[in-house]
Amino acid sequence: MADKYYGKPQGKTKQLMSASDFHTKKKWGQNFLLEPKFVGKIIDAADLDKEQIVLEIGPGLGALTKQLAEQAGQVVAVEIDGELVALLKDILAPYDNVRVCHGDAMKVDLEQLVREAAGKEGAASVPFSVVANLPYYITTPIVMRLLEQSWSWQKMVLMVQKEVAERMVASPGGKDYGALSLGVQYRAKASIVTIVPPTVFYPRPQVDSAVVLLENRLEPPVAVTSEKILFSVIRAAFAQRRKTLLNALSNGGVAGDKEQVQQVLASCGIAPERRGETLSLAEFAAITNGFAALK
């Protein structure tokens, strides 16, 4: 382990905040990472080299960004807070391989930003890694967006709430199992790298966090005719968790009517009164292919 990551906390974030009179904004989930040891764990899990392009969501005051710039070829960082974007200009001035984009990571075309960083605007896709201490209020939607829409990311190393990390690695049947677990399982191999206590952030969150590593499988573990239908079936099944599969899918707009849902479930040998949380990814794939065959 390199010493530079594992030294004593330097309190840089606190210094920067008081020097610039910056006040954290709760609405944007600003919990800055103070402890170099955990920055180091994230960077180590990302296993970067100078050939790689990294997308960071929410660079904040640059605690991770600086280390990413040292380790990776190019870093693209998307930050919603204009005040932080201005501060980052100074903080990241020593690095010529970082581009900070002022925008909402939920809205901007992330892959386009990566293509621009690689100087390959016209390319169909450019491989990249995602490294982020995610704002808690968009964790699930942003991860689902990357899982649903993109094969180009190779690895994601994410700081998330511990409870979200547990959902990412959950198996069928448990309370943690849901749309996020299935999306992750379909696209990635997921593991929890480390649990992170609230004390290493400023301001302190109320719950533990965890660093998760998602490695893109490149080949999905189940074959589906349409990924779009797969994700809409998954979303519908968990949008109304307490409802039976028959009702949840009928109300979820994935098929024309209840009869069609009944027909598809019967053809897959899946009882209509089951609930989404009991179904494996293979069963969701079978339902998906049943719906695709109706179209």
193 part of the interface to ligand SAM, by CB under 6 A: no
Nearest approach, Cβ of residue 238 and ligand SAM (Å): 23
Q: Which is nearer to ligand SAM, 22 or 177 (CB)?
A: 22
Beta-carbon neighbour count of residue 22 at 10 Å? 18
Nearest approach, Cβ of residue 260 and ligand SAM (Å): 37
Torsions phi, psi for 211 (to 5 deg): -100, 125
Nearest approach, Cβ of residue 72 and ligand SAM (Å): 15
Q: Which is nearer to ligand SAM, 43 or 287 (CB)?
A: 43
Torsions phi, psi for 5 (to 5 deg): -85, -25
81 part of the interface to ligand SAM, by CB under 6 A: yes
229 part of the interface to ligand SAM, by CB under 6 A: no
Residue type, 228: K
Q: Which is nearer to ligand SAM, 14 or 275 (CB)?
A: 14
Nearest approach, Cβ of residue 140 and ligand SAM (Å): 13
Spatial neighbors of 288 by CB under 8 A, at least 6 apart, are: 224, 225, 226, 229, 230, 233
Q: List the interface residues with ligand SAM, window 82-111 (CB under 6 A).
A: 84, 104-106
CA–CA dist 255, 174 (Å, integer) = 27
Q: Which is nearer to ligand SAM, 131 or 147 (CB)?
A: 131
CA–CA dist 85, 79 (Å, integer) = 7
Nearest approach, Cβ of residue 120 and ligand SAM (Å): 23
| Phi-psi map region of 286: left, alpha, beta (phi>0 left; psi -120 to 50 alpha) | alpha
Containing 111, the helix (H) or strand (E) segment is helix 110-117
DSSP letters along 68-98, please?
A: HHHHSSEEEEEES-HHHHHHHHHHTTT-SSE
CA-wise closest residue to 200 among 133, 131, 130: 133
Say if CB 270 and CB 287 are below 8 A apart.
yes
114 part of the interface to ligand SAM, by CB under 6 A: no
Say if CB 46 and CB 157 are below 8 A apart.
yes
Half-sphere exposure for 176 (CA within 13 Å, toward CB): 12
78 part of the interface to ligand SAM, by CB under 6 A: yes
Draw the binding track, 10-39, toward ligand SAM (x: CB under 6 A; -: no contact).
------------------xxxxxx------
Nearest approach, Cβ of residue 200 and ligand SAM (Å): 10
- Of the candidate residues 40, 46, 48, 59, the single one contacting ligand SAM (CB under 6 A): 59
Nearest approach, Cβ of residue 88 and ligand SAM (Å): 9
- Of the candidate residues 53, 64, 160, 184, the single one contacting ligand SAM (CB under 6 A): 64
- Of the candidate residues 57, 75, 113, 157, the single one contacting ligand SAM (CB under 6 A): 57
133 part of the interface to ligand SAM, by CB under 6 A: yes
Q: Which residues contribute to the site for ligand SAM (CB under 6 A)?
A: 28-33, 57-60, 63-64, 78-81, 84, 104-106, 133, 135, 138
